Amino acid sequence: MLSQRLPLLITGVAGVAGFNAFHHFHRKYPGQIVGIRPHQTFRLVGPDIVAQDAEDAVGMHTLFERFGFRSVLNCVGNCALKSCELDPAMAYAVNVQSALVLAELTRRHGARLVHLSSDLVFSGTRAGNHVETDPSDPVTVYGKTMVQAEDIFLTRMPSAAILRMSLPMGPSFNHHAGAIDWIQSRFRAQRPATLYFDEVRSCTYCDDLNDAFEKFLCSAASGIFHAGSPQAITLYEIAQVINRVGDYAPELLKGCPRVEAGPMPPRAGDVSMNSAKLIAELGEQPFRAWPAGDDLQPRDRSWHHERPADEPRSLEQIARRLYQYPARIAVANS
């Protein structure tokens, strides 16, 4: 039970995975959860959210001494691909230096550590369906720093569980981060969004991820696990779904192959993941396909232009269908 590993520190609550995880655990275990966000993210405030940079060893030491954390869910990571390419030192500080700090503090305090990594440790040039033993070969600075962070935890904190995620699908705190909100922000402003036909991901509902996080925080499982949806989907198809469900102008969505995207930032190909190892560890399939529902499966590149008269489309439907799946909402409201 997680109650035996509280209080819990959740880092990186400015990101989509961390933001959703913090609110999930904060509701479930009031008074036992602390989230940290970078000092520069000053608009993200709330009870038990602390301004603290994860790469600041002195500040993090003080935080651990103050709260006595017994477990850590590490969601830190700057995944802004272009920013990382233009400023590798920043990417190293946020993604790697923070791992060095957390590995030392969790080891010293005997805390359980679950670290979130990324499918972009792969280049996507090997037909996808990646398993954990596939060699990493990232094409971006972000992916390279995530590999470095994984190596730090594998060597310095071998009892840690490392969960490689794809795109976490849920709301962001600023309504602009993450796949859904970034694409929406373009459509909402009547600006075009260009997505790729051949970048393939294993998107996962944040609700499902939160449940998996808790199970790993409670367990002694260690090493690398893939935490991706059973359904692979392209970035272009993701945008098709958002465009149609949100009832945005279909002509705002543009598509192209990665080769036409330009060199900055480099784009991965098919980085879809096989999560059989994680399923075996948990004894069940914890992830639903994103998006859930046969009616939300693009059949071709013009699918988002179809607008059936009896189909509900709105911002509310994005919250109901794409941030969460309907069955989850029904259970939560029952």
Q: What is the pLDDT, as a whole number, of residue 331?
A: 43
The secondary structure element, H or E, covering residue 256 is strand 253-256
Spatial distance between the Cα atoms of 76 and 236, rounded to a whole number of angstroms: 27
What is the reported pTM? 0.94
- The CA distance from 188 to 279, in Å, is 38
CA dihedral 76, 116, 208, 247 (to 10 degrees): 60
- Residue 161 pLDDT: 98
CA neighbor of 10 nearest in space, from 152, 214, 172, 167: 214
Whether the CB-CB separation of 275 and 132 falls below 8 Å is answered with: no
Per-residue pLDDT, 326: 67
User: In which residue are the tokens 């399923």 written?
Assistant: 279
Q: Alpha carbon of 259 to those of 191, 195, 199: distances in Å? A: 22, 12, 11
2-174+203-230+274-282 CATH choice from 3.30.420.280, 3.30.380.10, 3.40.50.720, 3.30.310.10: 3.40.50.720
Cα gap 166→273, rounded to integer Å:
8
Q: Say whether the peptide bond before residue 298 is cis (omega within 30 degrees of 0).
A: no
φ and ψ at residue 314, rounded to 5 degrees: 180, 170
Gyration radius from the chain CA atoms? 19
94 phi, psi to nearest 5 deg: -75, -45
Question: In this predicted structure, what is the pLDDT of residue 262?
Answer: 77
pLDDT tens per residue across all 334 residues of the chain? 898 999 999 999 999 999 999 999 999 999 999 999 999 999 999 999 999 999 999 999 999 999 999 999 999 988 889 999 999 999 999 999 999 999 999 999 999 999 999 999 999 999 999 999 999 999 999 999 999 999 999 999 999 999 999 999 999 998 888 999 999 999 999 999 999 999 999 999 999 999 999 999 999 999 999 999 999 999 999 999 999 999 999 999 999 999 988 778 999 999 999 999 999 999 999 999 999 999 999 999 999 999 999 999 999 999 999 998 765 544 444 4
